[in-house]
Amino acid sequence: MTRIRALILTGYGINCEEELAAAYRLAGADSDRVHFGRLLSNAIDLSPYRIINLPGGFAFGDELGAGKVLANRIRARKDPAGMTMLEHLVRFVESGGRVVGICNGFQVLVNLGLLPNVGGEYAQEVSLAANLSGRFEDRWCRVTPTPNAPMPGVEALGPLELPVRHGEGRVVFRDDAIRQAVVDRSLNVLTYASEDGGVADAYPENPNGSELACAALCDPTGRVFGMMPHPEAYLSFYNHPDWARRKRQAMAVPEGGDGLRFFRTLIGTAAAG
């Protein structure tokens, strides 16, 4: 079977590309790390790829708000044929490709209007605002899948433990109609959860104060996905801060971390079309 090939974009302050490349390698896919400038200049043939990744980091230093500058470049930059990079991404998704944004990449996708895109017009419907705590949050959290979300395979993963590290991760919907559409269509793919599995409405289980306790969104096709937690940071059981106690209490040590399970699911669904 042909191995899935993923494009990982880097540059301009993105800094999680190495971990993301490791995630794909360990999960059984190939990846290429390419500077974002090559995408913006239309110097990349997207046809060999099934997944385009916008990793975490601090694109352009988040000077005008997280992900805003990079999103504006993607929306405005045109190739010699007059197509914007946003239009190229839309075509990629329409042809069956996946676009995945993690943390800063999620912020870019929201600013582009690729998420959640309930109106289908690629207009910004959601903002990722400053954390209600008023500070950068670097902690582990629990997230749980939303039943019947259109992103294949995620519901079967069950609860996940993943780290967050962001200062602007609070999901805020533009209006009540968009919030309700997200709920009705189960586009809030992952929600922050408390230790007993319930929805985490309060800090610190909800690390940023997101509406709907939303940790991740997908679009109605299920092929565009963004999340604030970092699955690429939990690929090994030994990445977890509590690994030593858990190892003493368990007879068997898991093969990998929850993030590795996430990427194996993502690759499997991309391979299935």
Active-site amino acid positions: 103, 230, 232
For the stretch 137-160, what's the b/e string if a residue is b when 16 or more beta carbons lie within 10 angstroms of its beta carbon?
A: beebbbbbbbeebebbbbbebeeb
Which residues, at least 6 apart from 141, have a Cβ–Cβ distance to it below 8 Å? 161, 162, 163, 164, 192, 200, 205, 207, 215, 229
Q: Helices 258-272 and 17-27 meet at what angle, rounded to 10? A: 70
Q: What are the tokens at 268? A: 């499997």
In this structure, the number of other CB atoms found within 10 A of the CB of residue 242 comes to 10
What letter would DSSP give residue 198?
Answer: S
Q: Where are the beta strands (DSSP E) in 89-154?
A: 98-102, 126-129, 137-145
In this structure, the number of other CB atoms found within 10 A of the CB of residue 196 comes to 6
